[in-house]
Amino acid sequence: MREGKIVAIFLAAGSSQRMGFQKLWLRLGQKCLGNWAFRAALQSLIDHIIVVTRENDRLDWMDSSFFKSPYRQKWSQVTCKNSVQGQSASLVAGVKKAEELLPNGIIVLLADQPLITKEMINELILCFKKESPIAFVAACHKNCLRPPVIFSKHLAAQVKRITGDHGARHIYRNKKYLNGKIIHYNNPSLFADVDTEEDYIEIKKLMKRGGWKWSTLEKV
């Protein structure tokens, strides 16, 4: 893996409590929900992806093509034994695994954000590399920081201390890390996630209106 590499933490260990079942199985177009953001990540400038799942997740929701070359060598799976403790537990598990790969930066992606694009991911990565040394590069919509976000390896220790289900936003708001960079996006669809049945219905409408196709993962 090359110097200055970027490792992704793909958070796919959520409990899906509000849905009542494993939401990554939900059908969106031709594929299950969890595949869309994952493929965007695979096609991006990310060097390696760590898929954080719950125990006993056999990745049945994942498209079979991801288990073949050239994709398979680009990702690995780590299970989070205490995923019921919230998103932070999954994030910490991912960071610990990512540190083994000695990355320069770690990007956090959510499995339930299907409209994230490789272009967006690449923009964040290129900004991080251009501005380094820098604490983080975060995506933002309407003055609210949202995943994806890249943080420096030097922030890993801070991220591993977070608890609960709030993610790492409070770290990025710390005055100690004001050398971070924020990239603003006007399109709210990029950040759309699926937590409820209503979210799922709305996502399907967005994809239909936007002409999202699995063949390219681009708007056509």
What would the pLDDT profile of 20-32 be if each residue is shown by its tens digit?
A: 667 899 999 889 9
Nearest partner of 50 among 82, 12, 23, judged by Cα: 12
Residue 6 bridge partners (DSSP): 105
Which pTM value belongs to this model?
0.90
pLDDT tens digit sequence for 130-146 = 999 999 999 999 988 89
Residue 79 bridge partners (DSSP): 53
HSE-CB for 111 with a 13 A CA cutoff? 29
**Per-residue pLDDT band at 209 (split at 50, 70, 90):** confident
Tell me how many domains the chain contains. Answer: 1
What is the model's pLDDT at position 215?
A: 58
Task: Give the tokens for residue 169.
Answer: 């936003």
Question: How are beta strands 105-110 and 75-80 bridged, if at all?
Answer: unpaired
32 located within any domain? yes
Section 202-218 average pLDDT: 74
217 located within any domain? no
220 located within any domain? no
**Per-residue pLDDT band at 218 (split at 50, 70, 90):** very low
Q: CATH number for the domain including 66? A: 3.90.550.10
70 located within any domain? yes
* Coil vs helix vs strand at 147: strand
* Domain interval for residue 29: 6-210
pLDDT tens digit sequence for 148-207 = 999 999 999 988 988 766 666 666 666 555 689 999 999 999 999 998 889 999 999 988
62 located within any domain? yes
23 located within any domain? yes
216 located within any domain? no
pLDDT tens digit sequence for 92-103 = 999 999 999 999
C-alpha span between 50 and 99 (Å, rounded): 11
Residue 219 has pLDDT above 70, yes or no: no
Burial class of residue 86 in the structure, from the number of CB atoms within 10 Å of its CB (0-12 exposed, 13-18 middle, 19+ buried)? middle
Q: Which residue has the tokens 């005055």?
A: 175
197 located within any domain? yes
